[in-house]
Structure 1
Amino acid sequence: MRVGAILKACRTRAGFSQEELADKLYISQSDVSKYENDTMEPHISTLQAWTNNTQTQEVMVAFLCGVDGLSVMQSVLDFAVGTVGTILLGGIL
Structure 2
Amino acid sequence: MKYGSFLKQARKTAGLSQEALAEKLYMPRSTISKVENDRMELRFSDVLRWFQTTNAPEALAASLCGVDIASLMQNLTMLVGGFSRWIW
Q: Does TM, normalized by the shorter one, top 0.5? A: yes
* Partner residue, 1:57: 57
Deviations 1:61-90 (A, max 9, x none): 1111011134303421341243134214xx
Structure possessing the higher radius of gyration over alpha carbons: 1
The farther-off stretch of 35-44 and 70-79 is 70-79
Measure the CA separation in 1 of the matches of 2:70 and 2:7: 16
* Partner residue, 2:12: 12
Task: Tell me the TM-score normalized by structure 2.
Answer: 0.89
Per the alignment, in what secondary structure is the counterpart of residue 30 of structure 1? Answer: helix
Q: Post-superposition shift, 1:52?
A: 0.7
Task: Tell me the TM-score normalized by structure 1.
Answer: 0.85
Task: Count the aligned residue pairs.
Answer: 88
1:42 aligns with 2:42: yes
1:31 aligns with 2:31: yes
The unaligned stretches of length 5 or more in structure 1 are: 89-93
Measure the CA separation in 1 of the matches of 2:3 and 2:25: 17
Measure the CA separation in 1 of the matches of 2:63 and 2:48: 13
* Partner residue, 1:91: none
Per the alignment, in what secondary structure is the counterpart of residue 27 of structure 1? Answer: coil
The unaligned stretches of length 5 or more in structure 2 are: none
The farther-off stretch of 62-71 and 42-51 is 62-71
Per the alignment, in what secondary structure is the counterpart of residue 15 of structure 1? Answer: coil
